[in-house]
Amino acid sequence: MNTEKKIQLNLSIPERCRNLLRRMAAERVMENPGQVVTGASIATELLLNALKEVAGETTKEGGTKK
């Protein structure tokens, strides 16, 4: 389990992007109803992956750089 301290960050995005995140969350819930997924959790996942890529920690394919 990740024990790194989490903080809240508020961002403003276009409504169409919010709607896309909601649709992505709904699709994941339909695939696995026992899973709790929100648009915010998907946005967090996408943001963290992009930041890791920019920082050189991962590749575009999501693999860890050696």
Per-residue pLDDT of the chain (66 residues; tens, 9 = 90+): 678 899 999 999 999 999 999 999 999 999 999 999 999 999 999 999 999 999 998 776 666 665
CA–CA distance, 11 with 8 (Å, rounded to integer):
10
Return the domain boundaries, the chain.
Answer: 15-54
Quote the tokens at residue 17: 């992007």
Q: Which residues contact 42 (CB under 8 A, 6 or more apart)?
A: 21, 24, 25, 28
Residue-level pLDDT at 57 = 83
**pTM for this one?**
0.78
Classify 8 in phi/psi space as left (phi over 0), alpha (psi -120 to 50) or beta: beta
Classify 30 in phi/psi space as left (phi over 0), alpha (psi -120 to 50) or beta: alpha
